[in-house]
């Protein structure tokens, strides 16, 4: 388990310091800004959706390593997902991080492996809003569409 935690930590550090898809998307069909006042994290999410499929997802913004890593991993996972699948991911991911009343997490098997790296954030309640910022922003973006 320690090795797994180290692996997850490396993934978060990697995405936090070297975020993927960190560019504005000129021909985005959806743009949505999100802000986490607790930490000062700011994210601008860009989506290009065609025939109800997310064909490109990028982001910009300033934030701590956890919020940046979470947004970076999210934009990688979103490609080729439908809007419905993306909303499903948002709900599962946020439930996974905020559901503190059980030791066993029923949502884990529904999430892509990369996202499991962010489960360790659960142990730091003050950072949960950092990890969920991009996801709340995505949920809001898809609901306004
Ligand atoms: Zn933060």
Measure 70 CA to ligand 1 centroid, in angstroms: 10
Render pLDDT for 130-141 as a digit per residue (tens, 0 to 9): 999 999 999 999
Measure 75 CA to ligand 1 centroid, in angstroms: 18
Measure 41 CA to ligand 1 centroid, in angstroms: 5
CB under 8 A, 24+ apart: contacts of 37-41: 38/126, 38/129, 38/130, 39/63, 39/64, 39/67, 39/127, 39/129, 39/130, 41/67, 41/129, 41/130, 41/133
Render pLDDT for 29-73 as a digit per residue (tens, 0 to 9): 999 999 999 999 999 999 999 999 999 999 999 999 999 999 999
Q: Which helix (H) or strand (E) holds 2?
A: helix 2-17
Measure 62 CA to ligand 1 centroid, in angstroms: 9
The β-bridge partners of 41 are: 36
Per-residue confidence (pLDDT) for residue 90, from 0 to 100? 93
How far is C-alpha 8 from the geometric centre of its chain's CA atoms? 15
pTM reported for the whole predicted model: 0.90
pLDDT exceeds 70 at position 129 = yes
Measure 50 CA to ligand 1 centroid, in angstroms: 31
- For helices 83-98 and 128-144, the axis angle rounded to 10 degrees is 150
Measure 123 CA to ligand 1 centroid, in angstroms: 15
Average pLDDT, integer, range 85-92: 92
């Amino acid at each position: 388990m320690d090795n797994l935690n180290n692996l997850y930590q490396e993934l978060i550090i990697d995405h936090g310091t070297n975020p993927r898809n960190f560019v504005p998307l000129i021909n985005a069909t959806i743009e949505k800004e999100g802000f986490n006042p607790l930490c000062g994290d700011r994210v601008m999410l860009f989506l290009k959706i065609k025939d109800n499929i997310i064909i490109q997802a990028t982001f910009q913004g300033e934030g701590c390593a956890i919020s940046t890593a979470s947004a970076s991993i999210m934009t990688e996972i979103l490609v080729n997902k439908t809007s419905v699948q993306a909303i499903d991911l948002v709900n599962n991911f946020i439930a996974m991080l905020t559901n503190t009343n059980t030791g066993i997490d029923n949502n884990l098997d529904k999430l892509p492996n990369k996202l499991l790296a962010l489960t360790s954030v659960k142990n730091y309640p003050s950072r949960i809003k950092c990890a969920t910022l991009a996801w709340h922003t995505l949920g809001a973006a898809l609901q306004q569409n």
